[in-house]
Structure 1
Amino acid sequence: MTTLSVRTKRVLAISLVALATVASGVTSYVVGHHYDERREAKAMRSLGFGVRPTPLWTLDTARVATGPGEVLLSVANPGTDTNGYGLLVDTDDNLIAAVGRPRAFNEVADVTLVGIDRADGHPIWRRPVGPVANCTDDPVTESIACWSPTKVTIVDTATGDVRGSATTDFTVASVTVAGDATYVSGTRGTGFAASMVLATGTVGAPIASIRTIADATPGASISDVVPDRDVFVVGAPTQDDIGSRSAVYSLDSGVRRFAVDGAVTAIGDTLFRSETYPQGIERLLDDTGAPVVTQRLSLPDGSFQPQVTATDFAPVVMGNGVFDPRTGALLWRDPVLDWGKRDGGISPAVVGSTLIAASLDGNLIGLDTRTGRRMWTTPLPVAFYVRSGITDGRFFVFGDTTGMHSIDAVSGRIVWSVASRSSSPGAISLTSVSGSDGDIVRAEGNSISVWRARTGPDPT
């Protein structure tokens, strides 16, 4: 997985962006920036997520493992115990798991990737990738990259074949794969004398060209690579009351576009967000780095962008404010979006014209994306744990400590639930939900199951 951006670090569950439109027997799912259309048989159509889905199978760890003592590892961070979260990556072709022997926290693990058939859960390929520190976990992708400090290996998600590999003369920190293009960042040397490098290439030749970022601040590192915005972000700690400084560079030319105080992430279509926690300030910046909005910061890393979107208009959420994704103009504010308040919360999803907020005091709240009008309030005592899920464009499926649920984004009615299977009194069993191709992948602790939306006759 690439070096985590500020936004990503807050996600406690599997975060997938999924769009599904169900009409006239055609179901389309959009995951991130990759499009995958699946056409139903003419006589049947998907009933969507408003109807309780059918359980297909539960993952058999022994069936997936390649040897005795092996367990499922987090794909993105094989040396980290994630209690089930991030154990599978859902791609266009199949599900991807990582298996190996348990390791100490953050210890480099000897990993085998396994491609799993989403129809019945059987392994269709296995690929040893050796000792790796991280792998990418982007949904709906043709390649998955794994890396150690000195080697990058890129595997085809459909076949398990190695598409490319490279040994580096610098310490690899992160890898980003976008289509056939690759971006490998890291450092050469140690301490404040180290130089920061960014290698670009293809899946067949991941480090074809190596660029040294000569004007980077000593101690800086690449915190985010955003190919669809043609930028990468460099951050460095400071000893003053700012806490950190950042610079945004062109990914194509390597030229620095602007530098600002604080930690910076790309957000929306043309905007950036900066945060200077010691000063308690967050800002929206335009494409040149000029401030568009400046406001109080409630918590460090306190803004939480909706992780699931199914809409033509996905606004930017920052603090308690909702902003136009292109201009940064304020649309409206609501205290339920302020994570730093006792009665505040976050927004895990935007579905159609509804922004769904999960409040800390135990409610899901539907707000009109353009006006902020509260359209419905649905009590949910453990709403705080709702972070992500999947949508078919009308119903939002999510997990919390009690199980898996589907809520109608128009009315706010919870239409079905699947209870947690935890049998330990007082135990918290968090359920995460992800999916593509219309299937729901449910992780509860180390138990993983796949569910399929029901089908019915096409009335047309």
Structure 2
Amino acid sequence: MKREIRNLLAAAAVAVVTVTGAVVTVAQAGDDGTRKITGTNDAAPGLGWSVDAAAMYGQAFAEFRDPRTGSEFDWGSSGFIAEDDVVVSIVGVSHGGMTLTDPQMFGIDAGNGAVRWQSAADDLGGCAEAPVDGRLVCFTAPLAEDPALVGFDLRTGEVTRTPTDWMVFAIAAHDDRLYVAEGNIEDDDVRLHAGTLADPDAQWSQPFAMGSIWEDDLTQALDVAHGQGLLTLGADVAGFDLDSGRPTWTTRLEGCSRAVPGDGGVVVRFRTECDGYRITGSDAIDSDGRTIVSTEGAGAQNLSFDHPADESLPLVVGDGAYDRRTGERVWTSPDLVAAREPDEYNSDTVRGTAVAVAGDVAILRPGAQTMSGLDLRTGERLWTHDDKRFGTVAALDGPSLLTIDGDGIRAVDTGTGESLWDTPFRKIDDDPDALASDGMLAAPHPGHYVYASSRTMIGLRPLPR
């Protein structure tokens, strides 16, 4: 397998860099090879490196894929896992959005874009988002010929396989502990285990009488990152203690309802009818299974990004904010709900306006061309701006909220709503499709960003001052 890599660092001293048809115009170059992107302001990061999936893989039409969704099927999700100084992504050639040809796991140096390692990644059902003992841990597809838990050493790419007779369907990791969900979900015969890659049930094992169908999306079945364990299968939801595996509570999702975990071990259940997809209310359930908040009517807050500064900040539900421990209402705001026109897919006439919680600010989208910020502690509106280009909230870097859209990456000050900087994709690569498709952005370190579309991955970092 060829390991060609498009690495722009080699051309730091030139003013115009051309790689596979892409043109990057450089206004100045930093001493460390970071290039200022033409047309950006002084606050904007420079381009540290850029790599092309097809060049890395050695075959045209190869694309980056998120390791969390595995390689058994092609979910079409561009992405990566960034950990310390390495970025890990699966690369393969998609066959009609169904499968990937000869998928490979790549470890890419977050500092310079160089390929550190490459390992075969066939038939993976999924991978945990956090590492365990320095390894990215994945599981083979439930019906794999040689089922195993598979670890990729983040430094070297060395593969460690732990054979198992389990039918694993979900995996997660937290605080260097591995959590594995396995069993026949169609017979309500499920078990959870906690341990290590070498001994995955070393700490505990616990049965759960709950299930679903294999056709369901199981990529979100297991969550351990919000202060308690949460297992969701079909209409069944169960909380569990992370240290012992002890089940702490259960609930049902009626109709088309869904449950979303949040900080402080609070789960928000959106009560939704399948007919017209009408939301009838929202509930907040604490780690003991108590419903501490219950609201009626539409106006559910569907956050695409939920990262409060700490657990003392209230939970936004409906038109108000509530204490995460007691459920006491802290404040209400009419800004949290807005009228909407019902359509064939959604009969609600009211919608929630919050799209993100970033630090101590709730980011609202009250209108198609308006963005606002509310102080989470008081409910006071901090700012409102006309904004025709909002994009998807992707990351938080201190007070900077980063959004992405088809045009580029933008940073907004959460305290004022002012735009801090804007990096257009076409100033990095003049191919309109190189960076604009279904991208993922992460901020692994302050001022340092990694972005990947299906075709291209880039590293942005501060310019030397």
TM range (shorter): 0.7 to 0.9
Change in 2 beyond 3 A, CA 1:103/1:419: same
1:274 is aligned to 269
Residues 345 and 359 in structure 1, CA contact (< 8 A), matched pair in contact too: yes
Change in 2 beyond 3 A, CA 1:97/1:54: same
Residues 86 and 107 in structure 2, CA contact (< 8 A), matched pair in contact too: yes
Where 2:393 maps in the other structure, the secondary structure is coil
Aligned pair partner of 2:76 in 82, 88, 97: 82
Q: Distance in 2 between matches of 1:381 and 1:227?
A: 34
Change in 2 beyond 3 A, CA 1:379/1:327: same
Q: Distance in 2 between matches of 1:341 and 1:64?
A: 46
1:224 is aligned to 222
Alignment of 1:28-427 (within 5 A): 51-65=43-57, 70-77=62-69, 78=71, 79-82=73-76, 85-86=78-79, 88-107=80-99, 110-138=102-130, 142-148=134-140, 149=142, 150-162=147-159, 164-188=160-184, 191=186, 193-208=187-202, 211=205, 213=207, 216-217=209-210, 219=212, 223-226=221-224, 229-236=227-234, 244-262=235-253, 263-278=258-273, 280-296=280-296, 298=298, 303-304=302-303, 306-310=305-309, 313-338=312-337, 341=340, 344-351=352-359, 353-383=360-390, 385-391=391-397, 393-421=398-426
1:241 is aligned to none
Cα-to-partner distance string for 1:8-63 (whole Å, 9 max, x where unaligned): xxxxxxxxxxxxxxxxxxxxxxxxxxxxxxxxxxxxxxxxx981111111112244
Change in 2 beyond 3 A, CA 1:257/1:394: closer
Per the TM alignment, residue 178 of structure 1 is displaced from its structure 2 partner at its CA by 2.0
Instruction: Kindly provide the amino acid, as one letter, of the partner of residue 84 in structure 2.
Output: D
Q: Distance in 2 between matches of 1:378 and 1:418?
A: 20
Per the TM alignment, residue 91 of structure 1 is displaced from its structure 2 partner at its CA by 1.1
Per the TM alignment, residue 66 of structure 1 is displaced from its structure 2 partner at its CA by 5.8
1:34 is aligned to none
Where 1:435 maps in the other structure, the secondary structure is strand
Residues 63 and 123 in structure 1, CA contact (< 8 A), matched pair in contact too: no
Where 1:367 maps in the other structure, the secondary structure is strand
Q: Which has the larger radius of gyration?
A: 2
Cα-to-partner distance string for 1:192-241 (whole Å, 9 max, x where unaligned): x3511222221333344773525x145488933326634333444xxxxx
Structure 1: gaps (5+ residues)? 1-48, 237-243
TM-score, with length taken from structure 1: 0.73
Q: Distance in 2 between matches of 1:340 and 1:204?
A: 54
Per the TM alignment, residue 144 of structure 1 is displaced from its structure 2 partner at its CA by 1.4
Instruction: Kindly provide the amino acid, as one letter, of the partner of residue 224 in structure 2.
Output: V
Instruction: Kindly provide the amino acid, as one letter, of the partner of residue 271 in structure 1.
Output: V
Per the TM alignment, residue 328 of structure 1 is displaced from its structure 2 partner at its CA by 2.6
Residues 190 and 207 in structure 2, CA contact (< 8 A), matched pair in contact too: yes
Q: Distance in 2 between matches of 1:103 and 1:349?
A: 37
Per the TM alignment, residue 153 of structure 1 is displaced from its structure 2 partner at its CA by 0.4
Per the TM alignment, residue 185 of structure 1 is displaced from its structure 2 partner at its CA by 0.4
Change in 2 beyond 3 A, CA 1:290/1:307: closer
Residues 314 and 376 in structure 2, CA contact (< 8 A), matched pair in contact too: yes
Q: Distance in 1 between matches of 2:414 and 2:138?
A: 37
Per the TM alignment, residue 174 of structure 1 is displaced from its structure 2 partner at its CA by 0.7
Residues 54 and 61 in structure 2, CA contact (< 8 A), matched pair in contact too: no
Q: State the identity %.
A: 20
Q: Distance in 1 between matches of 2:375 and 2:222?
A: 31
Per the TM alignment, residue 428 of structure 1 is displaced from its structure 2 partner at its CA by 7.3
Change in 2 beyond 3 A, CA 1:448/1:369: same
Per the TM alignment, residue 124 of structure 1 is displaced from its structure 2 partner at its CA by 0.9
Change in 2 beyond 3 A, CA 1:321/1:103: farther
Where 2:165 maps in the other structure, the secondary structure is coil
Residues 356 and 363 in structure 2, CA contact (< 8 A), matched pair in contact too: yes
Residues 268 and 315 in structure 1, CA contact (< 8 A), matched pair in contact too: no
Per the TM alignment, residue 312 of structure 1 is displaced from its structure 2 partner at its CA by 7.6
Per the TM alignment, residue 376 of structure 1 is displaced from its structure 2 partner at its CA by 0.9
Per the TM alignment, residue 432 of structure 1 is displaced from its structure 2 partner at its CA by 4.2
Cα-to-partner distance string for 1:67-103 (whole Å, 9 max, x where unaligned): 67643333222433536x32x2211121112122324
Q: Using the TM superposition, name which of 401-410 and 437-446 deviates more.
A: 437-446
Change in 2 beyond 3 A, CA 1:63/1:382: same
Residues 358 and 396 in structure 2, CA contact (< 8 A), matched pair in contact too: no
Cα-to-partner distance string for 1:290-313 (whole Å, 9 max, x where unaligned): 2211113538x8532643445685
Residues 96 and 113 in structure 1, CA contact (< 8 A), matched pair in contact too: yes
Answer 1 or 2: higher relative contact order, Cα 8 Å, separation at least 6: 1
Where 1:269 maps in the other structure, the secondary structure is helix
TM-score, with length taken from structure 2: 0.72
